[in-house]
Amino acid sequence: MSELHLPLLGYEPDAPFPDTRDALLHPNGLLAWGGDLSPPRLLNAYRLGIFPWYSDDEPVLWWSPAPRCVLFPEAVHLSRRTRRRYNSGGYTITADTAFSRVIAACATPRKPGDGTWITGEMQSAFELLYELGHAHSVEVWSEGLLIGGVYGLALGRIFFGESMFSRQTDASKIGLVALCKQLHDWGFGLFDCQVPNPHLKSMGAVVIPRAQFEEKLRIGISQPFHIGAWADIFAVKNRW
């Protein structure tokens, strides 16, 4: 990474990150490298709007892209077809009942030969954050089978989405909408999507400047919320 003139993080889990304004423009948002995925370091990173993203053959890379892709939970939307599917009542939606299975499914390459950024190290790190009550999953079930889901991290009243998967048409969209509707009811102001893609944009995701994102982040994480499993407090809306 030295050829990119990236700062190397200190060994200590609480070692400071560089200022996010120093992130590279190309590739967009690359900020630093090194360190580990210990809970203190990860929680500190996400509080600053920084996240890890790397492959097995790379060191840990830390990112803060700008502009930032976000979903405002109250503004999430579905196509007419997917909304009919969501309203059909043919699904059971839960939270924090199958975290390990959701993250493992998200880590499975979409196509043969594809790689994954959800490395074994990343899975272990988020499993630990789940045990500590910071990471969460939403699961979509049909006839007892896990057909879709989404997982991420909650700090205060900000949710940082990491990944989602589908095994049936629209299952990940149904999970994402159920999560956003619940987050809105809980007063969460922002769902961080990190980087845009057509799938997210079709559901209402937008990009905002780094300064706006970090101000909303500062406000949201200062608002306390339940730390621990969501299984017993997640109340699904069956119709939209």
Q: What is the pLDDT of residues 135-160, one digit of tens each?
A: 999 999 999 999 999 999 999 999 99
- Over the stretch 116-137, which tens digit does the pLDDT of each residue have? 789 999 999 999 999 999 999 9
Residue 56 has pLDDT above 90, yes or no: no
Q: What is the DSSP string of 101-117?
A: HHHHHHHS-SSTT---S
Rounded mean pLDDT of 108-121?
79
- Measured CA to CA, the distance from residue 115 to residue 155 in angstroms comes to 29
pLDDT at 237: 64
Going along the chain from its start, the domains and CATH numbers come out as 2-65 (3.30.70.3550), 69-221 (3.40.630.70)
What's the pLDDT tens digit per position in 176-222? 999 999 999 999 999 999 999 998 999 999 999 999 999 999 999 99
Check pLDDT > 60 for residue 2.
Answer: no
Tell me what pLDDT residue 112 has: 63
CA separation for the pair 118, 163 (Å, rounded): 9
Confidence of residue 9 (pLDDT cuts 50, 70, 90): very high
Strand partners of residue 62: 32, 52
Q: What does the alpha-carbon distance between residue 74 and residue 209 come to, in Å, rounded to a whole number?
A: 20
Q: For 151-179, what is the mean pLDDT?
A: 96
Least confident segment among 50-64, 103-117, 143-157: 103-117
Q: In the predicted model, what is the mean pLDDT of the chain?
A: 93
Residues 48 and 17 sit within 8 Å (Cβ to Cβ)? yes
Residues 6+ apart with CB under 8 A from 148: 139, 140, 164, 165, 166, 167, 168, 171, 172, 174, 175
Q: What is the rounded CA–CA span in Å between residue 38 and residue 22?
A: 23
Indicate the pairing of strand 158-166 with strand 61-63.
unpaired
